Amino acid sequence: MKLELHRLFVKGLKFGEKTGFDKSSGVLSVNKAELLELISDDALLGKNLDVDLAIPGDKTRVMPVKDVIEPRWKIEGKGQVFPGMLSSVESVGEGKTLVLTGAAVLTAGKLVRFQEGIIDMSGPGADYTPYSKTFNVVLVLEPADPNMDKHDYEKACRMAGLKAAAYLAKACADVAADKVDAFEVANIRDAMNAMPELPKVGYLYMLQTQGLLHDTYLYGVDVKRILPTILSPLEVMDGAITSGNCVSACDKNSTYSHLNNPVIADMLKRHGKDFNFVTCIVTNENVTLADKQRSSTYATKLAAMLGLDGVIITEEGFGNPDADLIMNCQKAERLGVKTALLTDEYAGQDGASQSLADSCPEGNACVTAGNANEVITLPKMDKVIGYAEEANVIAGGWNGSLAADGSITVELQAITGATSELGYTKLGAYTI
């Protein structure tokens, strides 16, 4: 498989008469009326929708944010962006895809309320979210009926974000790329026979699928309905996985972070040098013990059947999914497959509590994305896109988080992407 990402580097954002990209300035222009008409076509959404812009460095706060999506459009090859959602279910991961690098679409509004996030475009909060550096087109959404089923409303919001992202990139499809990144991976047979001197490594990719709006989609299918399966890393990079999650903002894997998964990016860079990156194994995070046992057994069996020497395992979420993480780790290790785990911690505001809900002796190689319970005060912003009062109900906040002066005191849990377990975060660590 060979995939080319044709990148236009967005360095500015404004409303204009025509949606398009100015190559000389790097400015993306958005026809607000046209975009509003596109998303308001859904009868499940209300009539008081809005589109706004959030620019890096501005004293702007966006909240509550549900998803972040990178604008993309396939310009050559089979399939189209976000297959199974916006387009027919054709395999992706091949051909040429246009990427508006540096731009993002945010879906915001009172969606599921308590599990949405905050993005500050400047100030101390901006240091914790990667999306403070993207030029953001913000969709402020509301339901047509306040009593609408939450699943219907979530779907309407999800589809609005995906449609907006595709619309923005499609409008720029005729502009020559600033840069082309080319990727090529072998089929499983050839991959298994290649580089006998290097260890064979895979990526065990855990996706949030606990239900009750804790959902992720693979080619449009709710992942809690699948058994673990094999997926090319290029399919992930080309939009096969989309987020439907309404979980804590800090470690929610946005559609943007799936498209730009840094684990996959780093493994591709090191392929052929440090190890032979064979494939991704996609698995789910379940609620019942039987389902956890089934998926962890099946996922690790696939790793062993492929003769992998090791797997990197990334978690999504915390608490209940910690059990899935540890089952995957322990079963893989007992099958002779070495593991390295990526997670984050909920160690209490003082950092003194147990970090994970489960553990095992085999889990002795672990990378942390930080403590989500750490408290931060976000100063008043000049502009709030969305609803500031939601700070009092979102996960990581509490009644009184929003102060009378407009400042907000919350845990990092409330900041979108702050402790991303894919490593798509601005936090780091060093040894002293």
Catalytic residues: 246
Backbone angles phi, psi at 77, to 5 degrees: 110, 170
The alpha carbon dihedral of 45, 50, 56, 58 has a sign of negative
- Burial category of 79 from C-beta neighbours within 10 Å (exposed 0-12, middle 13-18, buried 19 and up): buried
Asked if 108 contacts 139 with a C-beta cutoff of 8 angstroms, the reply is yes
| Nearest alpha-carbon partner for 256 in 161, 181, 345 | 161
Residue 187 in contact with residue 279, Cβ under 8 Å?
A: no
Q: Contact, 243 vs 209, CB < 8 A?
A: no
Token duo for residue 145 = 């009926």
